[in-house]
């Protein structure tokens, strides 16, 4: 966030105020030097002999300033991160008495930022003072040389060249001072360009889609994260017929969510092939492919907008309001929506903070209902609901699942008993497949998980 907000502001400031100052003061300095040459080119050459030293000081100051500015930008990001983390987790901070610890972290981050800012101030002061000192030397030498009778300079010319020299100090000082802003902008621009140069999602597909039938197949699919050498999914072979409901269960960390995240190509597989309706998903245009999925996750994402806009998110602005209401009703959300100050037009705050966990989940389910995609992915979709609400939601989801391909991730095995097929993942491998009753009779991993849950 600091790159987007703070660094962009640094670049904007460097490109506006700083550049304007550079242009204005440079023009003034060039004009004064021309006047000095016109009055006495000999004294002017004597004066500008110091220019290489001034250039060296400016270069030293610029290099150091750019490095320090990059450090400051990083420390600003650290301060933002620590503050945001403390605010987002305020319940845990208060409950576990972490106020002192969070305050120490914040103070440490701000202290580090202050120290880096002070280094910039010191560098700027040293650079500016050095340039002024270097300027004073040739002025003194020039004044001394001008008194030499051999120079044959009139009183008027002497006054003019001294006035030009003294006047030249102001634009040079301003240019050296504004150099700080320029170097901050350059350092900020480097970080922005670095972020902009990050590889984007690969979208080599050319085929457009209207609405897929929903046949899905994983063929010898393997996957591992770039930062990890451990295989997350190992040689997955799986067929899902259109209109069927398939549940994926297993221990936490077994690769269930990762497996389903491969379908809309949130991740790229390392080997193997995934097809929909017999066509490799890489052939489809990415945007067209993702239109085929509706997704409800246990981590509900809502936006600081109205209830209606959250339900209709991603759909055309002209979406029928009656359809939004029908989706909300099917998700059993109308009960609490009707109690909001402005109903569907009520703002729900950042990340839906004004709603309870169950209410947020029902908004997400209504969003999936309204999208009406042929493939539905449910990742613990009812995890945040109470028993009463879950019963109603399950009924709504059963209606939604008709004539759709449904993939369910569930830890509560009681929610997947009616699935057409159950896949058991363990350590990234499919270890069992079958119906609920078949897997119970098989006395394998699924049966052990099921018995452990009901024993609890």
Rounded CA separation 173/129 (Å)? 9
Containing H/E element for 390? helix 387-401
Token pair 């209902």 is found at: 369
Cβ contacts of 160 within 8 Å, gap of 6 or more: 35, 39
Give percent of the chain with pLDDT exceeding 90. Answer: 20
Helices and strands, counts by H and E, the chain:
17, 10
Token pair 């001034």 is found at: 54
Cβ contacts of 101 within 8 Å, gap of 6 or more: none
**Residue 80: is its pLDDT beyond 70?**
yes
Identical fold at 2-196 and 216-455? no
User: For 355-402, how does the pLDDT look when each residue is reduced to its tens digit (9 = 90+)?
Assistant: 887 788 888 888 988 888 999 998 877 665 666 666 666 766 776 677
CATH top-level class of 2-196 = mainly alpha
Rounded CA separation 376/206 (Å)? 24
Domain ranges, ordered by start, for the chain? 2-196, 216-455
Greatest mean pLDDT among 19-33, 181-195, 332-346 lies in 332-346
Give the mean model confidence (pLDDT) for residues 189-208. 78
pLDDT classification of 202: cutoffs 50, 70, 90: confident
Give the mean model confidence (pLDDT) for residues 431-437. 91
- Note the CATH number of domain 216-455: 3.40.50.300
């Amino acid at each position: 966030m600091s790159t987007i907000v703070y660094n962009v502001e640094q670049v904007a400031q460097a490109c506006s105020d700083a550049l304007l100052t550079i242009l204005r003061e440079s023009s003034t300095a060039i004009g004064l030097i021309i006047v000095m040459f016109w009055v006495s080119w000999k004294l002017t050459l004597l004066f500008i002999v110091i220019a290489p030293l001034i250039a060296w000081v400016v270069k030293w100051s610029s290099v150091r300033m750019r490095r320090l500015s990059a450090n400051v930008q990083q420390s600003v990001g650290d301060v933002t991160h620590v503050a945001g983390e403390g605010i987002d987790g305020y319940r845990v901070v208060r409950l576990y008495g972490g106020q002192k610890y969070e305050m120490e972290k914040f103070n440490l981050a701000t202290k580090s930022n202050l120290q880096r800012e002070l280094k910039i101030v010191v560098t700027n002061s040293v650079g500016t003072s050095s340039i002024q000192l270097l300027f004073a030397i040739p002025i003194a030498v020039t004044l001394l040389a001008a008194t030499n009778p051999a120079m044959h300079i009139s009183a008027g010319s002497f006054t003019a060249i001294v006035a030009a020299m003294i006047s030249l100090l102001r634009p040079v000082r301003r240019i050296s001072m504004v150099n700080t802003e320029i170097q901050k902008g350059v350092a900020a621009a480097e970080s922005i360009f670095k972020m902009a140069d990050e590889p984007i999602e690969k979208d080599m597909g050319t085929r457009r889609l209207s609405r897929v039938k929903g046949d899905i197949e994983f063929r010898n699919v393997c996957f591992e994260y770039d930062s990890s050498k451990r295989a997350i999914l190992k040689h997955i072979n799986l067929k899902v017929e259109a209109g069927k409901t398939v549940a994926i269960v297993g221990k936490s960390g077994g690769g269930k969510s990762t497996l389903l995240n491969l379908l809309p190509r949130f991740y790229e597989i390392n080997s193997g092939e995934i097809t929909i309706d017999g066509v490799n998903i890489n052939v489809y245009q990415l945007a067209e492919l993702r239109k085929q999925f509706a997704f409800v996750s246990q981590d509900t994402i809502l936006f600081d907008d109205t209830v209606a806009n959250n339900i209709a998110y991603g759909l055309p602005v002209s979406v029928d309001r009656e359809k939004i209401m029908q989706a909300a009703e099917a998700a059993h959300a109308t009960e609490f929506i009707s109690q909001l100050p402005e109903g569907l037009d009520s703002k729900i705050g950042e990340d839906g903070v004004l709603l309870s966990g169950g209410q947020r989940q029902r908004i997400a389910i209504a969003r999936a209902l309204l999208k009406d995609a042929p493939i539905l992915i449910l990742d613990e979709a009812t995890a945040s609901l109470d028993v009463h609400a879950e019963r109603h939601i399950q009924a709504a989801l059963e209606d939604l699942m008709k004539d759709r391909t449904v993939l369910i991730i569930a830890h509560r095995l009681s929610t997947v008993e009616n699935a057409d097929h159950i896949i058991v993942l363990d350590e990234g491998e499919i270890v069992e497949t079958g119906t609920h009753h078949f897997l119970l009779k098989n006395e394998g991993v699924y049966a052990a998980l099921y018995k452990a849950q009901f024993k609890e």
